[in-house]
Amino acid sequence: DSGVTQTPKHLITATGQRVTLRCSPRSGDLSVYWYQQSLDQGLQFLIQYYNGEERAKGNILERFSAQQFPDLHSELNLSSLELGDSALYFCASSVGSGREETQYFGPGTRLLVL
């Protein structure tokens, strides 16, 4: 158990819908990263938050957005869903953002868009 929790574990929805994925980092971790794992794109970085502020953006679609709240949990919002958004979404957390630090991954949310 990494100490990072993600809800829900599974999500099935229809095209055009909007969903919210939730991540609770390990106690004391300030950084949250979101990654997408799909068969065709592999594991890709989406976005990072550090202590409530956006730190870096990767290949995140404009239909997707995220935020980190004062209690440090984070949410990833996916809207106008398409079939190709079906994937496993991971969040990871670390204490800060440094060379020696380890990112700890949650179990992921599996999203299926029908």
Partner 1 sequence: GDSVTQMEGPVTLSEEAFLTINCTYTATGYPSLFWYVQYPGEGLQLLLKATKADDKGSNKGFEATYRKETTSFHLEKGSVQVSDSAVYFCALSDPLMDSSYKLIFGSGTRLLVRP
Positive or negative torsion for Cα 114, 40, 38, 85: negative
State the number of binding residues for partner 1 (CB under 8 A): 28
Q: Of the candidates 90, 78, 62, which has an alpha carbon nearest to the alpha carbon of residue 14?
A: 78
Binding mask 35-64 toward partner 1 (x if CB under 8 A, else -) reads x------xxxx--x------xx-x------
Burial level of 46, CB count in 10 A (0-12/13-18/19+)?
buried
CB of 80 to partner 1, least distance (A): 25
Q: Which of 29, 33, 93, 111 binds partner 1 (CB under 8 A)?
A: 33
**Is 5 one of the binding residues for partner 1 (CB under 8 A)?**
no
**Is 8 one of the binding residues for partner 1 (CB under 8 A)?**
no
